[in-house]
Amino acid sequence: MDLNLNGRNALVCGSSQGIGYESALAIASLGATVILMARDEKALLSAVAKLPADHGQKHSYIVADFFSKEQVADGINNFLKLGNPIHILVNNTGGPKGGAIADADTKAFIEAFQMHVVNYQILLQAILPGMKAGQFGRIVNIISTSVKQPIVGLGVSNTVRGAVANWSKTMSLELGEFGITSNNVLPGYTRTARLDAMLKMQSENSGRSMEQVSEELQASIPIKRFCEPAEVASAVAFLCSPAASAISGINLPVDGGRTGSL
């Protein structure tokens, strides 16, 4: 099985911690040169220093806050001016604040759409010429199982994640002839800061302890535990590899079997 990414450049967003960082780590281990993108330069410096470089890679980073589409555009365009095409794009952005959809302010939908769909489109349009020229491209969006089964209490997130899923599917139809694939990885309950925040919210709303909420959620998962960020990252890295060249337009849950649909 060909997992070799030597000579490929990968941009991984939201990659200073959590699933984003673990995805960068997994992709670098396959030989790719990784460019991290996040808003905290100190965290980025620390993350870059920990990436493997067994194949002589020189990893780097771009500082950009996804609340600002201008920073995202400037960051990617300035990097591309250095003359290094990007062959792999991993889109990963923190989810919107939780809450019932009926209570959400319309501004929350606009902000979430910009952070996810608009910024991803900016990155795609900047990177796409290099992918087409090389007849190789991998686009992987780390979103949520909510695109298959909406999660109660995450109204805005459910909405925007669905938009990203359809954006990705449309690209798979349009870009396949250029050797470019587009797929979505759907993490379930995964040990991240996002999960901690959700456990806290459910605990406060129900009057139960975070430990009780955690135990109940894990009991609902067929493997009886939360997933680890590295497990999600393994799926991301595989979809970026040559071995996954015929896989495009899919939603791949990494959720321990919890999602109640095919």
Residue ranges and CATH numbers for the domains of the chain are 9-188+229-253 (3.40.50.720), 190-226 (no CATH)
**Sequence-ordered list of residues with C-beta below 8 angstroms from that of 98, at least 6 positions apart, any chain:** 153, 154, 157, 197, 198, 201
Q: What is the pLDDT of residue 82?
A: 95
- 65-106: pLDDT as tens digits: 999 999 999 999 999 999 999 999 999 998 888 889 999 999
Question: Predicted confidence band at 194 (pLDDT cuts at 50, 70, 90)?
Answer: confident
* Buried/exposed 226-261: b ≥16 CB within 10 Å, e otherwise: bbebbbbbbbbbbbbbeebeeebebbbbbbbebbee
The tokens of 207 are what? 């009057």
Q: What is the pLDDT of residue 96?
A: 85
The tokens of 64 are what? 């950009």
205 has a pLDDT exceeding 90: no
CA dihedral 20, 25, 29, 34 (to 10 degrees): 70
Nearest-CA neighbor of 9 among 49, 62, 47? 62
Question: Predicted confidence band at 207 (pLDDT cuts at 50, 70, 90)?
Answer: confident
Q: What is the pLDDT of residue 218?
A: 94
Q: For residue 90, give the 3-state DSSP assignment.
A: strand
CA geometry: angle 182, 85, 39, nearest 5 deg:
75
Q: What is the pLDDT of residue 9?
A: 98
Q: Chain-wide mean pLDDT for the chain?
A: 95
The tokens of 110 are what? 């606009």
pTM value > 0.85: yes
Q: What is the pLDDT of residue 31?
A: 98
237 has a pLDDT exceeding 90: yes
* H or E stretch covering 207: none
- Of all residues in the chain, the percent with pLDDT exceeding 70 is 100
203 has a pLDDT exceeding 90: no
Question: Predicted confidence band at 25 (pLDDT cuts at 50, 70, 90)?
Answer: very high
Amino acid at the residue 243: A
- Of all residues in the chain, the percent with pLDDT exceeding 90 is 86
Q: What is the pLDDT of residue 94?
A: 85
Q: Using CA atoms, how far apart are residues 88 and 34, in angstroms rounded to an integer?
A: 9
